[in-house]
C-alpha cells in the first residue's frame, strides 16, 4: 500500500515529480504516481482526492503549473498533508504557479516547496511520515549525514586545489 500519492497535472511535470519519486525510493517510502488534470477531468480528480485516504496515502505531493489549482484542490478534499510543487512556466517563470499554490485561504494549507522542488517535496513527505516511523527517521538521518559528508569532500577538494583550480580537478 502506497504511503504517498504523487500527482501532477501534465506529463510535462514528470521530470520534476520524478525527483520526488526518486528520493522516496531512496528512503524506502512507497508511493503511487498519477497524471490528473483538475481542470480537464474534474470528476477523475475528485475520485482520486476523495479516495486517497482509503488507499492509505498519508501525504499527497501535487505538482502543477500556471493556474496550479491541483495542490490546493487536493488540500480541500484530502484531510492529511499536501505538499505543492510549483512548476516553472514559460509565461512567468513559475512565480504564477508558486503564488497559486502558496496563497491558500485560511483553513486549507498547502506546504509549498520551491519552484521545481520535486526532491524537497519528497524529503518533506518522508519527514512527515518519519514522525511515526523510527526506521524511516534513521534513514533520513543517514541521508542528511551523506549530504554533510558530500559538502565536506567538496571543501577538502577546494582547500587542496585552491579556487582557481577547483573546477579543473
What pLDDT shows up at residue 91? 83
The continuous run of DSSP H or E covering 102 comes out as helix 95-102
Query: Going from the N-terminus, what domains does the chain have, and what CATH number goes with each?
Result: 4-132 (3.40.50.1970)
What pLDDT shows up at residue 169? 64
75-130 per-position pLDDT tens digit: 999 999 999 999 999 889 999 999 999 999 999 999 999 999 999 999 999 999 99
pTM (2 decimals)?
A: 0.94
What pLDDT shows up at residue 163? 93
In a 13 Å sphere around the CA of 127, the CA atoms on its Cβ side amount to 13
Amino acid at each position: 500500500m502506497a504511503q504517498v500519492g504523487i500527482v501532477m497535472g501534465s506529463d510535462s511535470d514528470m521530470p520534476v515529480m520524478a525527483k520526488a519519486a526518486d528520493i522516496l525510493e531512496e528512503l524506502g517510502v512507497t508511493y503511487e504516481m498519477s497524471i490528473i488534470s483538475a481542470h480537464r477531468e474534474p470528476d477523475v480528480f475528485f475520485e482520486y482526492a476523495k479516495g486517497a485516504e482509503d488507499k492509505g496515502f498519508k501525504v499527497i505531493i501535487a505538482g502543477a503549473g500556471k493556474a496550479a489549482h491541483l495542490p490546493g484542490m487536493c488540500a480541500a478534499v484530502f484531510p492529511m498533508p499536501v505538499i505543492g510543487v510549483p512548476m516553472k512556466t514559460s509565461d512567468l517563470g513559475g512565480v504564477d504557479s508558486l503564488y497559486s499554490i502558496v496563497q491558500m485561504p485560511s483553513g486549507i494549507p498547502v506546504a509549498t516547496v520551491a519552484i521545481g522542488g520535486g526532491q524537497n517535496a519528497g524529503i518533506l513527505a518522508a519527514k512527515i511520515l518519519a514522525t511515526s516511523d523510527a526506521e524511516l527517521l534513521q534513514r533520513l538521518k543517514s541521508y542528511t549525514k551523506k549530504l554533510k559528508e558530500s559538502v565536506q569532500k567538496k571543501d577538502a577538494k577546494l582547500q587542496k586545489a585552491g579556487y582557481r583550480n577547483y573546477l579543473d580537478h
